Copies of this chain bind each other. A is one copy, B any other.
């Protein structure tokens, strides 16, 4: 199981982060393992903007965002202390080595042209994850953009094909950030159990981790892949 969260986007850093670390720690004690992919957030965007003003090309703008996501990953790994692997992996080979240590592996981006969502999907595949939690800044997948449409309805379940339609270019603008097509292709081919929820509601996340009812969206595949969290 692993948590993907742009948890460093928000100003309310300290408390949310510490609470997530606490939740992870509790599940570690129960024998679960975690890989945590973190996004770059506001500072990544600031560096990318600066870089664009300096005439830096797209690949290196991405690289700047990746480096910032790794700084965020280092923050989370530092709080986890001896439970987390260090240094932060910089490639798939690095990730595999880190994972072999038995520790929680926190990472940011890996490659230009690839979102941290895609990283989370690849990493989930590599470790044979029981669950991929996408903790984002909205409560899950909506039938329209919740940021512009106050009447947008949160979907309890969504098929992967529906999600692909939402993520595709011609679909609702802004939904891109939820999960891009590359990431979806990977979760789809390996039928990785995938859940979207809000990073800010850590009590809700706790309920998910305990196998209880939670507010968010679960991705449904044709053959029935129920959440296997508690059988892991």
Partner-B contacts on A (CB < 8 A): 13-14, 17-18, 43, 47, 50-51, 53-60, 63-64, 67-68, 70-71, 74-75, 78-79, 81-82, 85-87, 90-94, 96-98, 100-103, 110-114, 118, 121-122, 125-128, 164, 168-169, 181-182, 185-186, 189-190
Contact = CB atoms under 8 A, between A and B. Distances in A.
A100 B168 CA distance: 37
A92 B62 CA distance: 12
A125 B57 CA distance: 8
Contact of A101 (B75, B91, B100, B121): B100
Contacts of A112: 92, 122, 125-126, 186
Contacts of A74: 60, 63-64, 67
Nearest to A98: B100
- Specify how many copies of this chain sit in the oligomer: 6
Contact of A56 (B55, B64, B79, B186): B79
A51 B21 CA distance: 14
A18 B14 CA distance: 36
A62 B64 CA distance: 20
7 cross-chain pairs, A with B, having the tightest CB-CB distances, nearest first: A91-B91, A59-B125, A60-B78, A86-B96, A100-B101, A56-B78, A87-B93
